[in-house]
Amino acid sequence: MEKIVELVLKYQKDRKEEEFIKILNCFKLAINKYLCSVKLKDKEDIGQVVLFSIYVIIINFKYKEADFDEHLFNKNTLEYLIKNEFKNVNQTMNQKYITKYIKDCGEEKFIRAFYSKRLRDIFIKDYNLYCNNNAFIKKVQKTLSGIRFKYIKRTKETMSLNEIYEDDMELLDMVIDESTREKINPLNKYKMTIDEIVFLEKFIDNNRLLSESEVAKKLGISQQAVSKRRQKIRKKYHFLRKEVN
């Protein structure tokens, strides 16, 4: 099964709808549980905010590669780590997440990395995917918590903690199990089209919200045309006003 971050990288490159849908499906369980704690009259609006927020995270996510000192991959280091049962592997390798990587993925790839550069490259690639995958999931998790907080503040009502996701929950709890995935189209469920999402994306440039005139220049059309389409979307999705203003 592909890691979520691999789907994110594909979508950033190709902007294919099927990749976007796959990413959303990975978080379907988290989104549905979150929406269970929202009042019925607010579900559609909050669902759209969640969908749009995840889209913004996807297009702005930056893939980071760990900086390894390859001189540490030697026989003496490996013997030392094995002798100490990998208890101080993070400090020894100057990395934050190798202990968690070994716990979640096993120690085989890490140990094999000490035997050749080819095997080391395989481990480093897998480790980078693992770290970026968790970073992306945590970003979505934090965003859902932020939306929840704003919703609570707005409604001044207490929401059940059993129905939402907190910042200290296990990251894997955010990802739906492949065996329970239902083949539905979240875009149909939430009524947002790819064209609308792509259009709204034009208002975002390096984390800065552009004006209608700037978007018009980018698209090579008149400001009136941009304004007319924007007003149509705002009328349909009135809750997105603050996102694009």
Per-residue pLDDT of the chain (245 residues; tens, 9 = 90+): 578 999 999 999 998 888 889 999 988 888 887 787 788 888 888 888 888 889 999 999 999 999 999 999 999 999 999 999 999 999 999 999 999 999 999 999 999 999 999 999 999 999 999 999 999 999 998 888 888 778 777 776 444 434 433 333 343 444 544 444 444 444 444 455 666 777 777 777 776 778 888 888 888 788 888 888 888 777 666 544 444 44
Whether residue 171 contacts residue 141, with contact meaning beta carbons closer than 8 Å, is answered with yes
Give a yes or no: residue 212 inside a domain: yes
Give the number of domains in the chain: 2
Please name every residue paired with 205 in a beta bridge, in sequence order, or none if there are none: 208
Give a yes or no: residue 3 inside a domain: no
Backbone φ and ψ of 95, nearest 5°: -130, 155
C-alpha 83/C-alpha 28 separation (Å) is 43
Give a yes or no: residue 165 inside a domain: no
Give a yes or no: residue 211 inside a domain: yes
Q: Per the confidence metrics, is the pTM higher than 0.85?
A: no
Q: Using the 8-state DSSP alphabet, how is residue 107 labeled?
A: S
What integer pLDDT is reported at residue 37 of this predicted model? Answer: 74
Q: Hey, which bits of 166-232 come out as E strands?
A: 204-205, 208-209
Give a yes or no: residue 17 inside a domain: no
User: 85, 100, 132 — which closes off a domain?
Assistant: 132
User: 114, 132, 150 — which closes off a domain?
Assistant: 132
Give a yes or no: residue 57 inside a domain: no
**Beta-carbon-side half-sphere exposure of residue 80 (alpha carbons within 13 Å):** 12
Residues making up the chain, counted from first to last: 245
> Pairing relation of β-strands 204-205 and 208-209?
antiparallel
Burial zone of 183 (CB within 10 Å; 0-12 exposed, 13-18 middle, 19+ buried)? exposed
What integer pLDDT is reported at residue 166 of this predicted model? Answer: 35
Whether residue 123 contacts residue 110, with contact meaning beta carbons closer than 8 Å, is answered with yes
What CA–CA distances, in Å, run from 191 to 27, 40, 42, 202, 237? 17, 16, 15, 20, 10
Tokens of 202: 């034009």
What integer pLDDT is reported at residue 210 of this predicted model? Answer: 80
- Determine the longest span between alpha carbons in the chain, in angstroms: 70
Helix axes 4-14, 117-155, angle to 10 degrees: 90
What integer pLDDT is reported at residue 43 of this predicted model? Answer: 81
Q: State the residue range of the domain holding 111.
A: 70-132
> Tokens 């013997």 label which residue?
79
What integer pLDDT is reported at residue 40 of this predicted model? Answer: 80
What integer pLDDT is reported at residue 183 of this predicted model? Answer: 43
Give a yes or no: residue 65 inside a domain: no
Give a yes or no: residue 122 inside a domain: yes
- pLDDT by residue (tens digit) across 48-85? 888 888 999 999 999 999 999 999 999 999 999 999 99
User: 132, 149, 173 — which closes off a domain?
Assistant: 132
Residues 6+ apart with CB under 8 A from 66: 95, 124, 127, 128, 131
